Chain A
Amino acid sequence: GQQLNQSPQSMFIQEGEDVSMNCTSSSIFNTWLWYKQDPGEGPVLLIALYKAGELTSNGRLTAQFGITRKDSFLNISASIPSDVGIYFCAGQANSGGSNYKLTFGKGTLLTVNP
Chain B
Amino acid sequence: NAGVTQTPKFRILKIGQSMTLQCTQDMNHNYMYWYRQDPGMGLKLIYYSVGAGITDKGEVPNGYNVSRSTTEDFPLRLELAAPSQTSVYFCASSYHRDRNQPQHFGDGTRLSIL
Contacts and interface: CB of A to CB of B under 8 A. Distances in A.
Partners in one complex: yes
Interface of A: 1, 4, 6, 31, 33, 35, 40-45, 48, 50, 88, 90, 92, 94-96, 98, 100-102, 104-107
A42 B94 contact: no
B45 interface: yes
B105 A42 contact: yes
A98 B45 CA distance: 15
Given A95-B100, A106-B40, A106-B41, 7 more contacts: A43-B43, A43-B90, A92-B100, A95-B99, A105-B42, A107-B41, A107-B42
A21 B31 CA distance: 29
**Most A CB atoms within 10 A — which of B42, B48, B99?**
B42
Nearest to B100: A100
B100 A42 contact: no
Contacts of B94: 100
Nearest to A99: B100
A95 B50 CA distance: 15
Contacts of A50: 99
A96 B107 contact: no
B107 A41 contact: yes
B42 A31 contact: no
A7 to B, nearest CB: 13
Contact of A41 (B43, B58, B100, B108): B108
Contacts of A106: 40-42
